[in-house]
């Protein structure tokens, strides 16, 4: 009972930040935050990020608390609820191919470690589950291009249960720092086959994306928030709108994704502090050598 109360208290801290922070209160406040980080970016790029952050925060706020009422987006359905994390699902708008999934919980590690584990694709095989039956394996996880210090384009390719073809997603990662609220926000948005990729916006041309036979490219939009609870504890909430590229998505597949795949990934991600112990005895040296892009967060969040 005490451990269950612990996660509720941590969740409340994130909820309070999302619901009451002046810096996240509306689009004007978000615009100010985005502009301070993207001072040299064109106005259209800034406005695109403002809209994406605002939309992602709206979904994050819809999961605040413990009682969920139906909204224009539908009601959340609890799939897993443990002492350390929970997983929820929500149907997309009628006629839409998208399904919305949410995972949240607390990790035994500081914000910079949690961010590094989620930002660095090379670490995904350490905390994403690998199943033989039903089949799920991370085949490829790599960064295709570093666009800026706070943005990258990455590829994630997965082997999924038969008879489905392998799936992949090319993701644009964008990190937004809200230091006054002890919060980091990361947007995750897919680059699809039909996108006309503007080099000025993306810094990436289509031929840099490695093609794979019999692989279907997914569409995804969402992101995650990391809230500092204390120097060694971080609360995370990840939301995603996912198009699985299927004409019909059976409930059994949603249950597999939510109750097995995401629940296991949550449980492994919560133990990301182990990465520090495995790779080095000196945390500052570890981050400087392995993840220089994230090193500037070390002093700010410690």
Domain with residue 107: its CATH number is: 3.30.530.20
Are the CB atoms for 181 and 17 separated by under 8 Å?
yes
**What is the rounded average pLDDT of the residues 69-96?**
83
The verdict on residue 11 lying in a domain is no
Looking at the 3D structure of the chain, how many domains does it have? Answer: 1
- Tokens of residue 205, six digits: 């041309």
196 lies in which domain range? 77-301
Helix axes 43-62, 2-20, angle to 10 degrees: 140
Residue at 54 is within a domain: no
Q: How far is CA 221 from each of CA 47, 81, 119, 256, 300, rounded to the nearest angstrom?
A: 17, 24, 16, 20, 28
Longest dimension (CA), the chain: 54
Residues 10-57 have pLDDT tens digits of 999 999 999 999 999 999 999 999 999 999 889 999 999 999 999 999
Q: How confident is the model at residue 84 (pLDDT cuts 50, 70, 90)?
A: very high
The answer to whether residue 36 sits within a structural domain is no
Q: Average of pLDDT values for 145-170? A: 90
For 160, 239, 249, 261, the CA distances from 254, given in Å and listed in that order, are 13, 15, 7, 10
- Is 100 part of any domain? yes
Evaluate whether residue 46 is within a structural domain: no
pLDDT higher at 266 or 237: 237
DSSP 1-57: -HHHHHHHHHHHHHHHHHHH-GGGSSHHHHHHHHHHH-TTS-HHHHHHHHHHHHHHH
Instruction: Evaluate whether residue 171 is within a structural domain.
Output: yes
Asked whether residue 260 is assigned to any structural domain, the reply reads yes
Q: Is 18 domain-assigned?
A: no
Burial of 132 (0-12, 13-18, 19+ CB in 10 A): exposed
Decide if pLDDT at 226 tops 60: yes
Pick from 18-27, 67-76, 137-146, 175-184: least confident: 67-76
**Mean pLDDT score of the chain, rounded to an integer?**
84
Decide: 147 and 199 in contact? Cβ < 8 Å: no
> pLDDT tens digit string along 277-291?
544 444 444 444 555
Query: Per-residue confidence at 194, pLDDT binned at 50, 70, 90?
Result: very low
140 Cβ partners below 8 Å, 6+ apart?
A: 155, 156, 157, 168, 210, 212
Q: How far is CA 203 from CA 38, 44, 292, in A?
A: 15, 15, 20
């Amino acid at each position: 009972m005490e451990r269950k109360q612990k996660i509720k208290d941590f969740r409340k801290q994130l909820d309070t930040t999302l619901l009451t922070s002046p810096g996240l209160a509306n689009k004007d406040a978000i615009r100010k935050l985005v502009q301070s980080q993207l001072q040299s970016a064109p106005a259209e790029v800034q406005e695109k990020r403002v809209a994406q952050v605002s939309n992602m925060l709206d979904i994050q706020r819809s999961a605040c608390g413990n009682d969920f009422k139906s909204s224009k987006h539908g009601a959340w359905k609890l799939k897993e609820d443990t002492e350390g994390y929970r997983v929820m699902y929500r149907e997309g708008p009628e006629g839409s191919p998208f399904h919305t999934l949410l995972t949240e919980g607390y990790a035994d590690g500081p914000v910079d470690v949690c961010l590094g584990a989620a930002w660095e694709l090379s670490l995904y095989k350490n905390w994403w589950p690998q199943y033989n039956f039903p089949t799920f394996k991370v085949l490829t996880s790599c960064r295709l291009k570093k666009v800026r210090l706070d943005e990258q384009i990455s590829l994630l390719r997965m082997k999924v249960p038969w008879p489905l073809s392998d799936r992949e997603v090319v993701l644009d990662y964008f990190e937004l720092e809200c230091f006054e609220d002890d919060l980091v926000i990361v947007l995750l948005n897919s680059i699809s086959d039909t996108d006309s990729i503007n080099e000025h916006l993306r810094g990436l041309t289509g031929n840099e994306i490695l093609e794979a036979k019999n692989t279907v490219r997914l569409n995804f939009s969402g992101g995650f928030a990391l809230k500092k609870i204390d120097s060694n504890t971080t609360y995370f909430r990840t939301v995603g709108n996912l198009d699985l590229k299927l004409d019909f998505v059976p409930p059994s597949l949603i249950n597999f994704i939510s109750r097995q795949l995401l629940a296991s990934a949550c449980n492994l991600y919560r133990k990301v502090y182990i990465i520090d112990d495995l790779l080095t005895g000196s945390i500052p040296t570890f981050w400087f050598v392995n993840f220089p892009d994230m090193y500037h967060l070390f002093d700010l969040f410690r």
